Structure 1
Amino acid sequence: MKLDAQVSFRTSGEIKAKIESLAREAGKKPSQIINELLARALESLEQSQKQDEALSLETMRQTLLLVEQRMNKLEQELEGKLAA
């Protein structure tokens, strides 16, 4: 991935120290560690959103099935009353 944009933000000294420590251990620059962390976090967020969307669709499908069952039952009850 080509790194062609820059982002500036403030963080705590504690977080900065942790990033610098991770970078030293990995033999990388702090900016590389930050970029990797952001990429992983965004990927995780996207996957989570897709799962949430799938769950929402499944919930709607189940709700519609319950409504359909209830409508069928009411229809049968009404037909029974009309036939009587």
Structure 2
Amino acid sequence: MSEPRVTLYSRPGCHLCDDARAIVAAVCAELGETYAEVSIDDDPALQQRFGEEIPVTFVDGKQHDFWRVDATRLRRALTA
């Protein structure tokens, strides 16, 4: 199986992360893609990098969005 094209950086108890996860999961399922979720709380370097800008999504290794995930934008990035 190939690496997931989407990475969602989040933290437990974050309501924006919950919203982003639902959108990422739905779009990835629709397009047959996979995603990985990484808690920034497990890595001080990620905490330093992203701070309060979570959730952060990356597509194909490049930062795509933060705070909110737009399903249309994500779908477009994955089908471009």
Structure 1 or 2: larger helix share? Answer: 1
TM-score (normalised: structure 1): 0.29
Q: Which has the higher contact order (CA 8 A, sep 6+)?
A: 2
- Which structure has the highest strand share of the two? 2
Taking structure 2 as the reference length, the TM-score comes to 0.31
For the pair shown, the structure with the greater C-alpha radius of gyration is: 1
